[in-house]
Chains A and B, each alone.
Chain A
Amino acid sequence: GENVEQHPSTLSVQEGDSAVIKCTYSDSASNYFPWYKQELGKGPQLIIDIRSNVGEKKDQRIAVTLNKTAKHFSLHITETQPEDSAVYFCAATWPGQGNLIFGKGTKLSVKP
C-alpha cells in the first residue's frame, strides 16, 4: 500500500525566511496531494493541494511542487511569519484508495 515519508520532523526558521517541507510517496498511482496545517488544540486545516496533472501550484506565500518521476512533493512557505508556526502534514491518495495516507508531520517554529 501507499506510504508517505515527511521530512524534517521539526523546522525552525527566522521570521521572513523561507521554509521547505518535503514528502515522498511510494505508490505511483497516487494523484492527489494535499497539505494541512494544524494549530495547537485544533483540527488540521487544508492549506493547499495539488493534483498530478500539474507540477506547481501557488497561493500567496504558499506553494507546492510535485515531481512525479521522483515521487516527491514539497511545501514552500516564503516570508514566514510567527503565525505560520504550526504542525504541517502532507498526504497522498488516488481514486479507489478510500482515504488519505498522511505523513507524520513537521513542527514549524518561526522565531520573531
Chain B
Amino acid sequence: DGGITQSPKYLFRKEGQNVTLSCEQNLNHDAMYWYRQDPGQGLRLIYYSQIVNDFQKGDIAEGYSVSREKKESFPLTVTSAQKNPTAFYLCASSMEGWAPQHFGDGTRLSIL
C-alpha cells in the first residue's frame, strides 16, 4: 500500500539538542516537502526537494536542515538554532512541484 510514513509520531527535545524527523515515501514521487504547522497558522514551508541531491529553502528554513540522498527519503533535522521548535511537522510528496501533494500523518515535536 503506497504512502508516506513519518516517524516518530511524538518527539521530545531537550534544550540545545538536534533532533531528526524521518519521512519515507514509496509512491515513486520526485518531489518532497516539509511543512510546519502551528495553531491558526496554516502550513508554512520549511524546505522542499524536487530531485535527489537537490533542495531549496522555503519560507521558514532558519534553524532547520535537510538532506535528499535517496528518492524515498527526506529527513528533517531541527537544530538547536531553532528557538521555538514546538510544532506539528508534516512531510509531503508529489510527482512534480505543481502536482497534487500527498501528506504523512505528521510528527509532533515538543520541548522538555
B58 and A34 within 8 A (CB): no
Query: In this assembly, does A112 line the interface, its C-beta being within 8 Å of a C-beta of chain B?
Result: no
Contact flags A68-101 to B (C-beta < 8 A → 1, else 0): 0000000000000000000001000111111110
Cα A29 to Cα B25 in complex, Å, equals 30
Known: A98-B48, A98-B56. A46 touches B100 (CB 8 A): yes
**Nearest A residue (CB) for B97:** A98
A43 and B42 within 8 A (CB): no
Known: A34-B100, A96-B98, A98-B56. A103 touches B105 (CB 8 A): no
A98 and B50 within 8 A (CB): yes
Q: Considering only CB atoms and an 8 Å cut-off, how many residues of chain A contact the other chain? A: 24
User: Which 9 residue pairs spanning A and B have beta carbons closest together?
Assistant: A43-B103, A104-B42, A98-B97, A93-B98, A102-B43, A43-B105, A105-B42, A95-B98, A44-B103
Cα A112 to Cα B102 in complex, Å, equals 30
Query: In this assembly, does B101 line the interface, its C-beta being within 8 Å of a C-beta of chain A?
Result: yes
Cα A100 to Cα B93 in complex, Å, equals 11
Q: Would you give the shortest CB distance from B38 to chain A, in whole angstroms?
A: 11
B105 and A99 within 8 A (CB): no
Cα A32 to Cα B106 in complex, Å, equals 25
Contact flags A28-65 to B (C-beta < 8 A → 1, else 0): 00001010100001111110010000000000000000
Known: A43-B90, A89-B43, A105-B42. A99 touches B97 (CB 8 A): yes
Chain A residues with CB below 8 A from B98, complex form = 32, 93-98, 100
A99 and B42 within 8 A (CB): no
Cα A29 to Cα B104 in complex, Å, equals 29
Cα A100 to Cα B31 in complex, Å, equals 12
- Interface set, chain A 2-33, CB cutoff 8 A to B: 9, 32
Cα A46 to Cα B92 in complex, Å, equals 12
